[in-house]
Amino acid sequence: MDNSSSMTSTYQSELQAEVTIANTEADRAREQHIAAQAEVATAEERFQNANRALHTAEEALNLARREVESARRPLSGLAGRHRKTQLVKSSAEAKAEFALERLQLYNRGHDALRENGPGHLPGELVIQIFSCRSVNRPDNAMCMSHINRRWRNLALSTPSLWTTLDSYYGPTAAHVFATRAGLLPLSVVMMYGSGLPFYRRTFDEFRAFVAAATFYGHRWTKLCLNIGLEATYNVFDCLTSALRASTDSWSPKLRMHSISLSVISNPADLEADRNCFFEYWPFRSQEVFLSGLSQVPRECMCPELERLEHLNGANSTKRPFDLATILQAPNLHTLVLDLGVNFFPILASRRTHSLHTLRITDVAIDLLPVLNYVRMPALRRVDLVLTGTYTDIFDVLKGLMRNAMGAPIEELRIRRTMVYQNSEADIQGDSEEDQSEKEMREGLPVLTLLSLENVQLPNDALLELVGPIWTPRLETLRLCMEEHITAAGLLELARGIQIRCLDVICCPHPSLNDSEDEDWRDIIELVPQVVWLNDDDSEDGDSGDESDPETDSDIDAVVDQDELAFLNLDK
């Protein structure tokens, strides 16, 4: 019994020990579970933080991708600009190299001149340089005679350098120049008047020069007068009196080759009488150039007159211009008129047999009476600068054909100066003619050159004026700023007559600016010489400010008036 109870208590103790151990292990497991739960919570928190960081990174990545795309878009444009910049840079470098070469050549000439000096230049070359430097002006001879002793001797031994007498240098210089010129003909330049810039001489000084210059009046061949309007009467009175006193055998008219008269007025003198000196006109000249006069002196219309130019008539007066006076010249070959005023009415038909060159700047409708009543059978060259609508210009063309009546007009140039808005009335005009007009119009049978600028003729009007019937010998056709002329119209015209030269300048019609146009290709194949020019501003606008600002129209250097005269570009 005792053994069984002791065994039971021992077993119970073992069980209690096992229970204690189990409880201890359970507590340990529970602690481990709690620790594991804490680790899981920490891991979940880290996972959430990682998710949030991943989301933030994805947003940053998307934003970076969008920025990359936005930065990639202008990359192609920047590449194109870079290429164009490289082209501009290459062009600038080429120009710089060319300028450097020109500078080296220029310096080489200066070095040679510096080594040899101007005194070593051949005398013929020195004289040629001063003779070709603009017209023969007095300062040419004076400059040459004050370089060195050798050049002075050359100048003094060359009479042709001293043939111009200028009132600017006074009477003493006039005697010196006339003496050094030997027996050569003289050119005289006279200036007087308050309206002349850079000329401040009293009338007594001017009278003294006139007395000195008229002493050699028998040698005058050219006379240039620049006079203020208020002084015209006194100047011509002084000139006439001096010419009378210079010789015992006074000739009523002094014969010379050329006379140029320019009357310069102030705004306050516009209403003054510009013809008050006509009775003092003491010249008989082959060429007369007038500027600023309201009329042409009747005394100019002598048998010797061959060329007459009358400019700035519109600025002189609003009085009508008397064309009948000009028509009295029997041997007038060239007539140039810049008027802008009405003509006195010509009521009777007149004829000028010798006129072969006519240049007029005027209002178109004012020119029609001249074409209707004045016959010019020898006319060969016509240059008209007209103001008016297309209808007015077209009427002038028809009037010119009626006037010609088979006249040998070889060159015809017409330019319209008025900027006129395109309208149906201006384009269509009134081209109807009665049968009598059609019978009168015989065309221009020997016309070889026709130039139209801003006349705005449509195709049908051009074909009506130019064709195998009206202009069978036309060789050169020049069109400038003609908006309504098309390639189809020109092709029809070229097939009708044998045009050898076609100039198309700044004509905006698309068919004339498309190299793929079939009619334009046919024109190029049919006409031996085709010249096409377009304004630089009409290029495609895609280039914008990125294009090279320099064009072929830009001049390379500034050229002064002396260089223009030397190159004969100022005429």
Residue 444 · residue 401 · CB < 8 Å:
yes
Cβ atoms within 10 Å of 337's Cβ, excluding its own: 23
User: Mean pLDDT lowest for which of 139-143, 285-289, 355-359?
Assistant: 139-143
Residue 19 pLDDT more than 80?
A: yes
Residue 33 pLDDT more than 50?
A: yes
Residue 400 pLDDT more than 80?
A: no
User: Mean pLDDT lowest for which of 87-101, 364-378, 549-563?
Assistant: 549-563
Q: Is residue 152 part of a domain?
A: no
Residue 523 · residue 548 · CB < 8 Å:
no
Residue 464 pLDDT more than 90?
A: no
Cα(118)–Cα(18) distance, integer angstroms = 136
Q: Is residue 454 part of a domain?
A: yes
pLDDT band per the 50, 70, 90 thresholds, residue 436: very low
**DSSP label at residue 504:** E
Residue 117 pLDDT more than 50?
A: yes
Give the C-alpha distances (Å, rounded to integers) separating 318 from 344, 359, 371, 536. Answer: 12, 21, 22, 40
Average pLDDT over residues 343-356: 71
Residue 196 pLDDT more than 80?
A: no
How do residues 439-452 score in pLDDT, each as one tens digit? 334 567 788 899 99
pLDDT band per the 50, 70, 90 thresholds, residue 558: very low
Q: Provide the Cα torsion 459, 464, 468, 473; round to 10°.
A: -80
Same domain (yes/no): 323, 407 = no
More reliable by pLDDT, 66 or 324: 66
Q: What whole-number percentage of the chain has pLDDT above 90? A: 10
Q: Is residue 65 part of a domain?
A: no
User: Mean pLDDT lowest for which of 19-33, 120-134, 195-209, 416-430?
Assistant: 416-430
What integer best gives the mean pLDDT of the chain?
A: 77
Average pLDDT over residues 92-96: 87
Same domain (yes/no): 319, 453 = no
Q: What whole-number percentage of the chain has pLDDT above 70? A: 74
Q: Is residue 558 part of a domain?
A: no
Q: Which pairing describes strands 350-351 and 381-387: parallel, antiparallel, or unpaired?
A: unpaired
Same domain (yes/no): 279, 179 = yes
Residue 462 pLDDT more than 70?
A: yes
User: Mean pLDDT lowest for which of 85-99, 343-357, 545-559?
Assistant: 545-559
Average pLDDT over residues 121-147: 68
Same domain (yes/no): 204, 283 = yes
Same domain (yes/no): 317, 466 = no
Residue 544 pLDDT more than 50?
A: no
Contacts of 303 (CB under 8 A, 6+ apart): 329, 330, 331
Same domain (yes/no): 405, 293 = no
pLDDT band per the 50, 70, 90 thresholds, residue 501: very high
Per-residue confidence (pLDDT) for residue 334, from 0 to 100? 92
User: Mean pLDDT lowest for which of 204-218, 386-400, 531-545?
Assistant: 531-545
pLDDT band per the 50, 70, 90 thresholds, residue 504: very high
How do residues 162-187 score in pLDDT, each as one tens digit? 888 988 888 998 998 999 888 899 99
Give the C-alpha distances (Å, rounded to integers) separating 266 from 244, 274, 297. Answer: 31, 13, 22
Residue 255 pLDDT more than 80?
A: yes
Per-residue confidence (pLDDT) for residue 251, from 0 to 100? 57
Same domain (yes/no): 201, 324 = yes
User: Mean pLDDT lowest for which of 101-115, 320-334, 513-527?
Assistant: 101-115
Residue type for position 213: A
pTM equals 0.65
Q: Is residue 125 part of a domain?
A: no
Cα(174)–Cα(186) distance, integer angstroms = 10
Burial of 571 (0-12, 13-18, 19+ CB in 10 A): exposed
Q: Is residue 231 part of a domain?
A: yes
CA angle 220/226/232 to nearest 5° reads 100
Same domain (yes/no): 303, 412 = no
Q: Is residue 543 part of a domain?
A: no
Residue 522 · residue 94 · CB < 8 Å:
no
Q: Where are the alpha helices (DSSP H) in 117-164?
A: 123-132, 138-144, 149-156
Closest by CA to 416, choosing from 392, 400, 449, 444, is 392
Indicate the number of domains in the chain.
Answer: 3
Cα(188)–Cα(222) distance, integer angstroms = 6
Same domain (yes/no): 307, 442 = no
Same domain (yes/no): 321, 212 = yes
Same domain (yes/no): 277, 401 = no
Cα(444)–Cα(407) distance, integer angstroms = 7
Residue 213 · residue 168 · CB < 8 Å:
no
Contacts of 558 (CB under 8 A, 6+ apart): none
Q: Is residue 258 part of a domain?
A: yes
Average pLDDT over residues 144-149: 76
Q: Any idea what the CATH number is for the domain that residue 440 is in? A: 3.80.10.10
What are residue 249's phi and psi, to 5 degrees?
Answer: -90, 80
Range of the domain at 43: 15-48
